[in-house]
Amino acid sequence: MAFRKGYKFHGVHYNTPGVYSFVKSDMVDVKKDGAKNIAILGKAKGGIPKNIMVIDDPEIAKEVVKGGPLLTAMLKAYDPVIDTKQGVELGGADQIFVIRTNDATKAKTPVYQSREVEAKIGKVVSTLHPSTTGEVTTSGAFSGEENKTFKIVITSEGTKDIAEAKYKVYAAGEEVGAEYTLDSTENTTDKELGDGAKVSFKAGKYTNGDTFLIPCTKAVTVYEYVYTIESKDWGEECNFISHKLDDGEVLGTKTLTIYDAKSDTYEVFENVGGAFDIRYKGNQQYAAMSIVSDGKGNAIKLQTYIGADEENAIVDLDIDLDQEQFKSVKQLALYIASYENYEINTVATVNSELNANDLDVLEKVSIKERCGITAVLRDLEKTTAYQSRFVEIKASNREVVNYENYDFVQLLGGSEGQEAQSYIPFLDEIAKYDIDYIVPLTDDMSIIAECREHVIEMSERKGKERRLVCGAGNGLSALQAIKNARTLAHGRVQYFGVGHYDFDKKLYPAYITAAMHAGRAAFLGVESATNDTYKMLKPERTFEGRDRREMIDNGVMFFDEEVSDHNHKLFYPKLVWDYTTYTDKNDTLQVERSTGAIADQLSKDTRKRLDKILTGKLTPTGVLETARNAVLSILKDYQRKGIIVAYRNLEAKKERDKVYFRCEIAPATPTNFTFVDFLFYDQAIELDTI
């Protein structure tokens, strides 16, 4: 190989002297110890049913989720508190995984076009004796106002030659018909049956009892399916969307108008389908063009015909609409323009995504004058798919070529559907994600129990630690709330026994309060939310005396109303204690949500670091030391940040293909009680002698 002069710089070989540069970014913001992910599952007015949506902005939540308990819970989770402890920041959820649990349906409208079907004399249906050799044929044009079937019966005895045979003609509904002989031309050739229908008898033999049915249908207007326009969202609010079709300003194009009455918003897509127009400018008297379909909606051939008249016309242009050759309709237009005697004008607003296969089907339309070549249906599909907020074309009949205008038509069929009776399919969906808190927006204890089992399974056996924050509805007594909490008791479960009144003075159920707390807990991570002031008007109720003691002892979360130091008429709702439903022992790791969160976070961080260092890798002593140092680095970092107080006895041991780490850790724990003793004593007072 010959020597190559020059140098390679960031993978590119340069052999011309000059100055070259390369830019890279080292500005990626990697979050550490930041907000955790939460998942909220519940009914909503908008969004894809039963699918995970990840939303990190309240404004996007309003646009996508639209309404219902799910939106309320999300907005509360994003911004849950108005006051907190000294040195602790305000804040709520950062990124929320949401699932719309009601099986809502889309709204839609099938669009049809009218087509005139000419009157028709149908094919003769014969019932013949084996000896019969004659045949009946039809002619004429049916002019009746109702569909009619004529019946011809051979009445002559035995089998007769045509000159000796006789027949009767019955009209629809008649039992008696006139009898005719076949020995005269007027009864044999173009015999008038009525309403323009005629029959002729060919030479041969006819047998008694032979029958001939001639069905005739009147001219009718039929309606053919063109496309279905349906909402992009799901739910009953989609029924407020309507649409209409008008002619566009460009020849052959259409204008689609969408109106959403809910938001009073219009979308107008003008000159849809515009491609180019064509005119034959040669000397022939007849010029026409066809665009042929493959029967599946794709245009595959363009042909032009020229001649003295239609009967004597010949094919002039015969172009295969190869998508590889004609990637856009503009390329096709320029190609046709290169031929003599054809004038082409392209549409300035043509959709660049349209290709030659998208053209509408045509059959021998005249091109002696300007003829618009369009791709209306495919343009409608592509335009609504990417540009409309409200609708899209989902199914279409590309063999239809007529797009009739229509006034505003409303979408129908959108519904909220039924709430899911089980959340297990949704929990299976979120199992693959790193989610720290799950909130089911339901007071159904069986569904809440499903969520409880999910967080335990994922945390203890799947290595994906997560926690459940839940609540029931409204109006629960202390005893009912305690009973529910005992049913759910676990160190990974928090249960709210009361709802809250918001600033709109509306009472919200406890599961909305739970979502608010989950957002706060996600933001705080390893810090406690105890004594935080939550953003609400007031809790549904407060508790004193025995109810209060038993609520605390059984792990039911609730709020106090504390009077303002500055205005005794103002009260602030403060979270009594950020604890779990675990009540078996006084184990801080199980009882304190924040302490448990330290263990979860430390476990996740350690697993991720060690997975990169050890899994699948040869592990001599040096690699094992590197892994131990990585764990040590994490522990020192946690200690420096005040998340843990101390650690000791870090051990690392490898046996066969297994590595064991063991360490004792003292976490930083929240202070919930502070006791101050004052001892007053008598101090003698003496004045100096003057």
Q: Give pLDDT tens digits for 618-663.
A: 999 999 999 999 999 999 999 999 999 999 999 999 998 999 999 9
The pLDDT of residue 680 is 92
Give which of 496, 460, 428 is closest to 590, Cα–Cα: 460
Q: Can you tell me the distance from the alpha carbon of 364 to that of 327, in angstroms, rounded to the nearest whole number?
A: 25
Per the DSSP assignment, residues forming a β-bridge with 245 are: 256, 406
b/e map 468-503, b = 16+ CB within 10 Å: bbbbbebebebeebbebbeebbbbbbbbbbbbbebe
Average pLDDT over residues 347-366: 87
Residue 30 has pLDDT above 60, yes or no: no
Average pLDDT over residues 588-593: 92
Average pLDDT over residues 164-191: 85
Average pLDDT over residues 282-298: 87
Please give the full DSSP string across 51-109, using - where no structure is assigned.
Answer: SEEEE--HHHHHHHH-SSHHHHHHHHHHS-EEE--TT------SSEEEEE-B--B--EE
Q: Tokens 């009864």: give the residue.
A: 187
Query: What angle do helix axes 593-614 and 510-524 make, rounded to 10 degrees?
Result: 50
Q: pLDDT category, 177, cuts 50, 70, 90?
A: confident
Average pLDDT over residues 293-314: 87
Per the DSSP assignment, residues forming a β-bridge with 83 are: 533
Average pLDDT over residues 87-104: 93
Average pLDDT over residues 263-288: 92
- Domains of the chain: residue spans and CATH: 38-101+419-583 (3.40.50), 119-218 (no CATH), 274-374 (no CATH), 615-690 (no CATH)
The pLDDT of residue 31 is 44
Residue 399 has pLDDT above 50, yes or no: yes
Residue 26 has pLDDT above 70, yes or no: no
Of 22-26, 39-43, 133-137, 541-545, the one with minimum mean pLDDT is 22-26
Q: Can you tell me the distance from the alpha carbon of 191 to that of 655, in angstroms, rounded to the nearest whole number?
A: 105
Residue 32 has pLDDT above 50, yes or no: no
Q: Give pLDDT tens digits for 658-676.
A: 999 999 999 999 988 888 9
Residue 516 has pLDDT above 60, yes or no: yes
The pLDDT of residue 565 is 64
The pLDDT of residue 519 is 95
Average pLDDT over residues 117-138: 91
Q: Can you tell me the distance from the alpha carbon of 530 to that of 671, in angstroms, rounded to the nearest whole number?
A: 9
Residue 255 has pLDDT above 60, yes or no: yes
Q: Can you tell me the distance from the alpha carbon of 238 to that of 104, in angstroms, rounded to the nearest whole number?
A: 11
The pLDDT of residue 171 is 79
Per DSSP, the three-state class of 502 is coil
Give which of 449, 445, 483, 443 is closest to 468, Cα–Cα: 449
Q: pLDDT category, 568, cuts 50, 70, 90?
A: low
Q: pLDDT category, 394, cuts 50, 70, 90?
A: confident
Average pLDDT over residues 665-688: 90
- pTM of the complete model: 0.78
Residue 347 has pLDDT above 90, yes or no: no
Residue 25 has pLDDT above 70, yes or no: no
Average pLDDT over residues 277-282: 92
Per DSSP, the three-state class of 431 is coil
Residue 496 has pLDDT above 70, yes or no: yes
- Of residues 249 and 563, the one with the higher pLDDT is 249
Residue 301 has pLDDT above 70, yes or no: yes
Q: Can you tell me the distance from the alpha carbon of 501 to that of 506, in angstroms, rounded to the nearest whole number?
A: 5
The pLDDT of residue 648 is 93
> Are the beta carbons of 527 and 88 closer than 8 angstroms?
yes
Q: Can you tell me the distance from the alpha carbon of 425 to that of 409, in angstroms, rounded to the nearest whole number?
A: 37
Q: Can you tell me the distance from the alpha carbon of 584 to that of 491, in angstroms, rounded to the nearest whole number?
A: 10
Q: Can you tell me the distance from the alpha carbon of 346 to that of 367, in angstroms, rounded to the nearest whole number?
A: 15
Average pLDDT over residues 27-49: 76
What would the two tokens of residue 543 be? Answer: 């508790």
Per DSSP, the three-state class of 592 is strand
Q: pLDDT category, 398, cuts 50, 70, 90?
A: low
Average pLDDT over residues 84-98: 92
Q: Can you tell me the distance from the alpha carbon of 647 to that of 638, in angstroms, rounded to the nearest whole number?
A: 10
Phi, psi values for residue 358, rounded to 5°: -85, -10
Q: pLDDT category, 223, cuts 50, 70, 90?
A: confident
Average pLDDT over residues 415-430: 94
Q: Can you tell me the distance from the alpha carbon of 233 to that of 390, in angstroms, rounded to the nearest whole number?
A: 7
Q: Can you tell me the distance from the alpha carbon of 466 to that of 459, in angstroms, rounded to the nearest whole number?
A: 6
> Are the beta carbons of 74 and 515 closer than 8 angstroms?
yes
Angle at the Cα of 286 (from 285 to 289), degrees rounded to 5? 150
